[in-house]
C-alpha cells in the first residue's frame, strides 16, 4: 500500500514539474512577444514622429516661400494681401488694392522744366511776349506685368502775344506745333521718366536699355505696342518694329 502511494506521488510530482516547465516556457514566450511588440510600437512611434517633423519642416519652408511670393506680388502689382481664416487655417489672399499715388503732377513739372520758351513773332506777325506748355492726359494704365505705370500725354504750347503797342493789350492763343509723349514710372513709388516725345518714329537705338526692359513687349489699352521704332536693318514694314 505504501509502495502504491509512493508511485502515485512520484507520478504526480513528475507531471507537476512538466506543467511548471510548460508554464515557464509559455511565460517566457509571452514576455518575448510583449517586448517585441513594445519595441515595434516604440520604433513605429519614432518613425511616425520623424515623418511628422519632416512634414512640419517642409510645410514651414513652403509657407515661407509663399509669404515671400505674396510680398513680391504686392510690390509688383500695388495690391495688398490680407489674412483670412479658413477652417482654422490662416492664409493670405490678394483681396484689397493698395493705394497708389499716381503723382501725375510730376509729369507736368518735367514738361515745364524741359520747355524752351518761344520768342519772335506768331503766324500773324504779332510779338510773342510769353509762352508756356500745356499737358493733356490721353491714357493712364499699367504694363501687362503691373510693374510700371504708363502715361500717354499730349503736349502743346500757349502764346501770349501783343495785339498793339499799348501796354497790356495782349491776347492768349494756341501756339504752333505739339507732340505726344510717353512717360513711365515703377510701381508703387518710383519716379516718372520720359520714354519718348515727338510726332515721328524714333530709331531703335535711341531708346536706352532701361526703357527697353521696362516697356519692351508691353501693350497699351488697345492691345498695341506701347512704343515703335525704326530699325535700319529691317526691310519689312519699312523697318518699323515694335519695341
pLDDT value of residue 3: 46
Q: What is the DSSP secondary-structure string of 106-131?
A: HHHHHHHHH-----SB-TTS-BEEEE
Q: In the chain, where are the structural domains located? A: 1-99, 105-242
Task: Give the tens place of pLDDT for each residue, 34-73.
Answer: 565 555 556 566 777 677 777 777 777 777 777 777 677 6
pLDDT at 168: 82
Q: What is the C-alpha separation between 65 and 73, in angstroms, rounded? A: 12
pLDDT at 99: 75
Mean pLDDT of all residues belonging to the chain: 79
Taking only the tens place, the pLDDT of each residue in 118-160 is 999 999 999 999 999 999 999 999 998 889 999 999 999 999 9
Q: Alpha-carbon dihedral of residues 66, 70, 71, 73, nearest 10 degrees?
A: 140
Rounded Cα distance, 71 and 61, in Å: 15
Q: Could you give phi then psi for residue 147, rounded to 5 degrees?
A: -95, -25
Q: Grid coordinates in use for 136?
A: 493733356
Amino acid at each position: 500500500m505504501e509502495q502504491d502511494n509512493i508511485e502515485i506521488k512520484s507520478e504526480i510530482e513528475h507531471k507537476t514539474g512538466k506543467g511548471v516547465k510548460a508554464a515557464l516556457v509559455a511565460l517566457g514566450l509571452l514576455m518575448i512577444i510583449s517586448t517585441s511588440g513594445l519595441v515595434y510600437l516604440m520604433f513605429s512611434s519614432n518613425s511616425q514622429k520623424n515623418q511628422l517633423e519632416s512634414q512640419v519642416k517642409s510645410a514651414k519652408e513652403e509657407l515661407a516661400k509663399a509669404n515671400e511670393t505674396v510680398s513680391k506680388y504686392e510690390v509688383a502689382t500695388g495690391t495688398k494681401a490680407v489674412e483670412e481664416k479658413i477652417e482654422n487655417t490662416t492664409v493670405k489672399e490678394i483681396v484689397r488694392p493698395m493705394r497708389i499715388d499716381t503723382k501725375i503732377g510730376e509729369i507736368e513739372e518735367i514738361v515745364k522744366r524741359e520747355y524752351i520758351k518761344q520768342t519772335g513773332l506768331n503766324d500773324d506777325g504779332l510779338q510773342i511776349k510769353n509762352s508756356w506748355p500745356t499737358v493733356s492726359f490721353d491714357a493712364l494704365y499699367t504694363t501687362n506685368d503691373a510693374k510700371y505705370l504708363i502715361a500717354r500725354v499730349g503736349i502743346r504750347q500757349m502764346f501770349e502775344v501783343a495785339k498793339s503797342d499799348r501796354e497790356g493789350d495782349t491776347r492768349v492763343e494756341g501756339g504752333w506745333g505739339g507732340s505726344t509723349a510717353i512717360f513711365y514710372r515703377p510701381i508703387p513709388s518710383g519716379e516718372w521718366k520720359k520714354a519718348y516725345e515727338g510726332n515721328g518714329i524714333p530709331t531703335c537705338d535711341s531708346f536706352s536699355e532701361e526703357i527697353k526692359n521696362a516697356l519692351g513687349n508691353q501693350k497699351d489699352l488697345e492691345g498695341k505696342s506701347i512704343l515703335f521704332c525704326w530699325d535700319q536693318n529691317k526691310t519689312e514694314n519699312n523697318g518699323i518694329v515694335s519695341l
